[in-house]
Amino acid sequence: MQVYPRTEKEKLNLIARAAYERTRSRHQETLRRLRLLASII
């Protein structure tokens, strides 16, 4: 296992968190659209 400098580790954590937030918000958006469609039908 490679040991990263603290800054590298923090950078990786930030990237991972940003990616997670992006996918989560996209998922929330999809759920909202589905709910809208369901209310229309």
Of 18, 22, 15, 23, which Cα lies nearest the Cα of 4? 15
At 1-41, the pLDDT tens digits run: 666 567 888 999 999 999 998 888 888 999 999 999 999 87
What mean pLDDT, rounded, does the chain reach? 86
Model pTM score: 0.51
Round to whole Å and give the CA distance between 20 and 30: 15
pLDDT tens string 18-28: 999 888 888 89
